[in-house]
Amino acid sequence: MNILVCVKQVPDTNEIKIDPVTNTLVRDGVPSIVNPFDGYALEAAARLRDDAPDTRIVVLSMGPKQAENALRECLAIAADNAYLVTDRIFGGSDTLATSYILSRAIAKVEELEGTKFDAIFCGKQAIDGDTAQVGPEIAEHLGYPQVTYALEVKSAEDGLHVYREAEDGKEVIGVQTPCLITFTKPSFDPRFPTIKRKMAARKAQITQLTAAELTNIDPEHAGLKGSPTKVKRTYVPPRKEAGVVVKEETTEASAHKLYELLSKAHVI
């Protein structure tokens, strides 16, 4: 089986701080990581290969040149080959334009690999934008069926069986291939790279694809021009005014005070 995993390099949003003076986002020095949900997608592909060793895993990312680091990390963990879509004219793309570019890039990668992918795996969302849109939009561009919120995938005779998180439990969904699956956090931890794979990943050749190489692309649908949504403005959410701190002589007295306050506020 051939699997393509789409990954994004993101700032570690847990490390993002707000500058208290300028009230803006401090991005300097914030480490870049592989989007964690994309890591779960890669792990799901690796697990399929554990069961079927002839499985080939290719990773694809779109972003600036330094996104190569994210691809190298994927190579170190499990991927066999990596491609980076990078071009200034792709900058400013919203999810619709991004998914369009990626869908065209997937066609190009299939041409270069000399084979079609049976499945395309994505993280359910990236932790910087949190939109959860690019995966299903790629599926629509390619005309593939999709399954979202997957935890694990098993190979079956009639396609793939996807264990999916549902509102009140889990579901097993059967889906024909080729298909696109987006992954959420499973109960198991993704594997770590081995030293040997890490060394190989450092030296690996990563193929770059620019707009000129994606011959099938319509520039009208890429970048700012191809993006129906526009960011009008951004702001740091305002802080609420300080609340009342309850501090009485004893814990019992504090509990009593708290009860009184909540009763007076008509919430209990």
Minimal distance, residue 149 CB to another protein, in Å: 6
Residue with Cβ nearer another protein (45 or 179): 179
Residue with Cβ nearer another protein (202 or 256): 256
Q: What angle do helix axes 68-77 and 195-203 make, rounded to 10 degrees?
A: 140
Residue with Cβ nearer another protein (38 or 94): 94
Minimal distance, residue 79 CB to another protein, in Å: 25
Residue 110, exposed/middle/buried by CB under 10 A (0-12, 13-18, 19+)? Answer: middle
Minimal distance, residue 119 CB to another protein, in Å: 13
Residue with Cβ nearer another protein (40 or 57): 40
DSSP β-ladder status, 169-175 and 159-166: antiparallel
Sign of CA dihedral 28, 30, 33, 36: negative
- Coil, strand or helix at 156: strand
User: Would you tell me how many other CB atoms lie within 10 Å of the CB of residue 57?
Assistant: 23
Minimal distance, residue 140 CB to another protein, in Å: 4
Q: Are 257 and 265 in contact (CB under 8 A)?
A: no
SS3 letters across 19-43? CCCCCCEECCCCCEEECHHHHHHHH
Residue with Cβ nearer another protein (113 or 165): 165
Minimal distance, residue 204 CB to another protein, in Å: 31
Q: Are 92 and 219 in contact (CB under 8 A)?
A: no
Residue with Cβ nearer another protein (131 or 207): 131
Minimal distance, residue 49 CB to another protein, in Å: 23
- 9: which strand partners? 34
- Coil, strand or helix at 192: coil
Residue 165 DSSP class: E
